[in-house]
Amino acid sequence: MVNNKKIELFDTTLRDGTQGESINLSIHDKLIITQKLDDFGINIIEGGWPGSNPKDEEYFQKVKTLNLKNAQICAFGSTARYPDKIREDNNLNKLLAAETPYISIFGKTWQFHSSRSLGLTDEQNEELIYNSVEYLKQEGRKVIFDAEHFFDGYKDNKEFALTMIKAAENAGADIIALCDTNGGTLPHEISSIVNVVSKTVRVPIGIHAHNDSDTAVANTLAAIEAGVTHVQGTINGVGERCGNANLCSIISNLMLKMNYEMVSDINTKKITPLSNFVYELMNLIPNQRAPFVGKSAFAHKGGIHVSSVLKDSRMYEHISPAEVGNKQRVLVSDLSGQSNIRYKAKEFGIDLEVDKELGKKIVQRIKNLEYDGYQYDGAEASFELILRSELGEYSPLFNIDYAKVNVMFDDQDQDYSEAVLKVSVEGEIEHTASDGSGPVGALDNAIRKALCRFYPELSVVKLVDYKVRVLGEKNGTGAKVRVLVESSDGENTWSTVGVSEDIIHASLQALADSLNYKLYQLKKEDKLVSEVN
């Protein structure tokens, strides 16, 4: 059954989201994200605080040039500083100068803040809120009053908190957004308090939750069930301290589980692409375990789970991953059964159903290798090479007969790395050397330099990521290390793994697998025209 009320989506990724640690967006970035949010169907986009910095002021001028179809832009700021100097207040006039259809202003609804931080009496704080909202309304703006610290304020002094939001309503505020600014309120408290507020004010109520108790999404959903129709949050939950309520999870839950409709036409299949887009623009590593949109959200590792998923994915998936633009993944590890191997083989176009004994053999080989420290749920290219070799379809297209890496430092803290190696391809030998940024970089350059004589196609392959993990830390410098390498040819990326007590040897394994994988793919597609005859 579809709920009667429609939910308005207010995105503050560009304002509250940028207050998160390590997050910084250029004006160009903010404009690109604005367009993307509009395309997705967000109703109101809070672009920044024009009274706080020149960059946000410039954003509000440039955003006018965008052809937005769904969203209206909102400027953010605070109430005036003095209740009797509203029209001279610089902050309010900067908000008006931004010329946005919406303005969101926050005011104190916790008596403790009002008296301690601003030094105001209750009557002065009420007058400040009323006069600030009234002024903006008289200038023709739609006003969202953000009731800062509302839930803390309500629990501390219910009468004060309710009086302050009534002042905003009486002054003409279009929406009263209740803010859990410290993020310390729990869902049952949210429900109870919103129920009271919904009987107190007549205008639409909003919710702005922070995630300091890891309940921002749950708090938002509880508020909606209690009567809220305006939802504030950020893409991926970015924001100050522990972040804001995550709109990716909120929208997915509302539409796919709670049968709410949004004010705009939202396609939930675009949620994962939107999440990844914002991560990329913010130069952040995506949260692999994020619900709905994370890479691991629909990943299955245990053999029993995979066996069931292959029969009917509903056994271990709460929704179809396609509904949010994500995809199902099956991992290969020491927890794998034959189901995992068959699933992965099918991804490579191999049907192992016809040879059960081969499937058992491959499972045992993977488990033995993972016992030695290898990991294949993050190195699927290495896994495919193992699978193909067991089927007799693959053998290495080159051998590294000798490798030596020299690393030198001087008293000026300058370092120099050089790799010398000898490779053989069908009996022909190439002996070469190359330098690089660090020993692994030198080794990578030397391998490709040697092999490009035989396989010029490898010139496009680049090392794009390199990770090292120490295994068995108690063994100190004698511990094994696992190296994961990600490579790219400009169109595709793939990951390979190497394990050894020596980090250079482990790197060499991973790099060799990477180049062999590329060569194998070219050979399979009949594109390896320069192979030695």
Q: In what side-by-side order are the strands of the sheet with 480-488?
A: 462-471, 480-488, 493-500
Q: What is the pLDDT of residue 61?
A: 96
Q: Can you state the angle between helices 380-390 and 356-371, rounded to 10 degrees? A: 130
Residues near 321 by beta carbon (within 8 Å), at least 6 away in sequence: 297, 298, 327, 328
**Exposed, middle or buried by CB within 10 Å (0-12, 13-18, 19+), for 519?**
buried
- Chain segment 466-504, per-residue pLDDT in tens: 888 888 755 666 688 999 999 999 899 999 999 999 999
- Maximal C-alpha separation, the chain: 91
Q: What is the C-alpha separation between 128 and 295, in angstroms, rounded?
A: 48
Per-residue pLDDT band for 50 (boundaries 50, 70, 90) equals very high
Assign 296 a pLDDT band (cuts: 50, 70, 90). Answer: confident
Residue 528 has pLDDT above 90, yes or no: no
Which amino acid would we find at residue 402? Y
Q: Which residues, 6+ apart, have CB-to-CB distance to 100 below 8 Å?
A: 47, 60, 72, 73, 74, 75, 141
Predicted local distance difference test score (pLDDT) of residue 62: 96
In a domain, 110, yes or no: yes
Query: How many beta carbons lie within 10 A of that of residue 137, not counting itself?
Result: 16
Bridge partners for 145 per DSSP: 105, 176
Q: Measured on CA atoms in the order 439, 444, 447, 452, is the torsion positive or negative?
A: negative
pLDDT of residue 340: 65
Cα distance between residue 425 and residue 453, in whole Å: 10
* Gap between the Cα atoms of 223 and 194, Å rounded: 6
Q: How far apart are CA 324 and CA 321, in angstroms?
A: 6
Q: At residue 265, what is the residue type?
A: D
Residue 138 structure tokens? 């008289």
165 occurs within a structural domain: yes
- Mean pLDDT, residues 267-279 taken together: 94
Please name the residue ranges forming H helices in 301-337: 303-311
Mean pLDDT of 216-220: 98
Among 138, 149, 205, CA closest to 181:
149
Which residues in 241-253 are b (16+ Cβ under 10 Å) and which e? eebbbbbbbbbbb
- Compare 403 and 311 and report the one with higher pLDDT: 403
Residue 365 lies in a domain: no
pLDDT, tens digit (0-9, with 9 covering 90-100), for 357-410: 777 777 778 778 877 888 776 788 998 898 888 888 899 999 999 899 988 877
Any domain includes 533: no
Cα–Cα dist 357/338, whole Å: 10
Q: In 10 A of CB 255, how many CB atoms? A: 19
Distance CA 209, CA 326 (A): 26
Q: For the chain, how are helix, strand and coil distributed in percent, rounded to 5?
A: 45, 20, 35
The DSSP 8-state label assigned to residue 211 in this structure reads: -
Q: Is the pLDDT of residue 212 over 90?
A: yes
What is the distance between the alpha carbons of residues 138 and 135, in angstroms, rounded to a whole number? Answer: 5
Mean pLDDT score, 431-447:
89
Give the separation between CA 301 and CA 240, rounded to whole angstroms.
Answer: 34
227 has pLDDT over 80: yes
- Quick one: how far is CA 79 from the chain centroid? 33
Task: Write out the residue range of the structural domain in which residue 204 sits.
Answer: 9-262
Whole-angstrom distance, CA of residue 450 vs CA of residue 397: 13
pLDDT at 477: 61
CATH number at 128 reads 3.20.20.70
> Per-residue pLDDT for 15 more than 70?
yes
| Contact present, 237 and 211 (Cβ < 8 Å) | yes
Judge whether 367 lies within some domain: no
What confidence score (pLDDT) does residue 438 get? 86
Residue 336 has pLDDT above 90, yes or no: no
Distance CA 102, CA 146 (A): 13
Task: Quote the pLDDT of residue 457.
Answer: 92
Q: Domain count of the chain?
A: 1
The pLDDT of residue 2 is 59
Q: Copy the structure tokens of residue 135.
A: 């002024």
Asked, for residue 478, whether it belongs to a domain, the answer is no
What b/e readout covers 75-99, taking b as 16+ CB neighbours within 10 angstroms?
Answer: bbbbbbeebeebeebebbbbbbebe
3-state secondary structure of 277: helix
Find the range with the poorest average confidence among 62-76, 171-185, 189-203, 285-299.
Answer: 285-299
330 — pLDDT class (breaks 50, 70, 90):
low
pLDDT by residue (tens digit) across 134-193? Answer: 999 999 999 999 999 999 999 999 999 999 999 999 999 999 999 999 999 999 999 999
pLDDT band at 1 (very low <50, low <70, confident <90, very high): low
CA distance 297 to 359: 27
Q: Which residue has the higher pLDDT, 104 or 52?
A: 104
Tell me, what's the pLDDT at 17? 96
467, two tokens: 């990770």
CA angle 277, 283, 285 (to 5 degrees): 85
Structure tokens at 70: 């769904």
**Residue 413, in any domain of the structure:** no
Residue 20 domain flag = yes
Q: How confident is the model at residue 424 (pLDDT cuts 50, 70, 90)?
A: very high
What letter does residue 457 receive in the DSSP assignment? G
Whole-number pLDDT of residue 7: 98
Q: Is the pLDDT at 199 greater than 90, yes or no? A: yes
Closest CA to 404 of 511, 510, 505, 513: 505
